[in-house]
Structure 1
Amino acid sequence: MADILTLVFRTFMSQTGRMKPPSPGPPPPAAPSALLVGARSVSGSVLLLAAVTAASQAGRRVVFFSPAQIQSLPGTLQRLGPNMSPQSLKKIQFFYPRTLAELLQQVAGLHEATGPSSTPPSLIIVDRLESFLCSAGLHPGEQSCAAHLSALLCDTAAFFSQVLEQRAPCSAPCRILASFQKEMDTGPAGGEASAADPILNVLDRYFQTRCTLAQDSGYEAAAAGLQEVWHVYLSGTTDCEDVVQEWQLLISPDGLMEFKWI
Structure 2
Amino acid sequence: MADILALIFKTFPSRSELAAVEEKSLCSVAPARSALVVVEHPGEHPGEHGLIRSVLLLAAVTAASEINLRVIFLTQTQIQSLPVALQRRVPSLTPAALKKIKFCYPRTLEELLVQVAGLHESPHSPSSLPALIIVDGLEGYLCAPAPCTSSGLHTSEQSSAAHLSALLCDTASFFTQMLEKQGSDNAPCRLIASYHLQGNSEQKGGEVSADPVLDVLDRYFQLRCTLEKDRSYESTSGGLQQVWNIYLSHLGMTKTFCKKEGVEGKEEQPVQEWRLLLSPDGLMEFKQAQKH
Choose between structure 1 and 2: higher helix proportion.
1
Q: Which has the larger radius of gyration?
A: 2
140 and 250 in structure 1: CA distance in 2 versus 1, 3 angstrom threshold: farther
After TM superposition, list the pairs within 5 Å mapping 1:89-100 onto structure 2.
Answer: 89-100=98-109
Pick closer, same or farther for the CA change 1:80–1:245 going to 2, 3 Å: closer
Which piece of structure 1 moves more, 141-150 or 231-240? 231-240
Q: Distance in 2 between matches of 1:249 and 1:176?
A: 21
| Structure 1 match to 2:118 | 109
1:142 positional shift: 4.0
1:228 alignment partner, one of 242, 251, 275: 242
Q: Match of 2:49?
A: 40
Checking the alignment, whether the CA contact within 8 Å between 1:228 and 1:251 is kept in structure 2 is yes
Shift of 1:87: 1.2
- Identify the match of residue 183 of structure 2 among 145, 168, 171: 168
1:204 maps to a residue whose letter is: D
Range moving further from structure 2, 49-58 or 83-92: 83-92
Identity across matched positions, percent = 55
Residue 173 of structure 1, CA deviation: 0.5
Aligned counterpart for 2:71 among listed residues 62, 85, 97: 62
Greater relative contact order (CA < 8 Å, ≥ 6 in sequence): 1
Cα deviation, residue 236, structure 1: 1.0
Query: What is the distance in 1 between the residues matched to 2:5 and 2:216?
Result: 25
Please say if 1:154 is aligned against 2:154: no
Q: Residues 186 and 109 from structure 1, CA distance in 2 versus in 1: closer, same or farther, beyond 3 angstroms?
A: same
Query: Which segments of 5 or more consecutive residues in structure 1 lack a partner in the other structure?
Result: 10-27
Match for 1:186 among 197, 202, 214? 202
**Deviation of the 1:3 alpha carbon:** 8.6
Q: Distance in 2 between matches of 1:156 and 1:4?
A: 25
Distance (Å, rounded) in 1 between the aligned partners of 2:273 and 2:229: 13
Q: Does 1:198 align with 2:219?
A: no
Structure 2 equivalent of residue 259 of structure 1: 286
Sort the Cα spacing of 1:250 and 1:159 in 2 relative to 1 into closer, same or farther, 3 A: same
Deviation at 1:72, TM superposition (A): 4.6
The unaligned stretches of length 5 or more in structure 2 are 9-28, 40-47, 148-153, 257-266
CA distance in structure 1 between the aligned counterparts of 2:244 and 2:169, rounded to whole angstroms: 29
Is the CA contact (8 Å cut-off) linking 1:8 and 1:50 kept in structure 2? no
Q: Hey, which bits of structure 1, 4+ residues long, moved more than 6 A?
A: 138-141
- Inter-CA distance 54–81: structure 2 relative to 1 (3 Å threshold): closer
**Secondary structure in structure 2 of the residue aligned to 1:51:** helix
8 Å Cα contact 1:143/1:198 also seen in 2: yes
State the 1:59 CA deviation: 0.7
Distance across 2 between alignment mates of 1:76 and 1:54: 17
User: TM-score, normalization: structure 2?
Assistant: 0.73
Tell me the CA shift for residue 6 of structure 1: 3.4
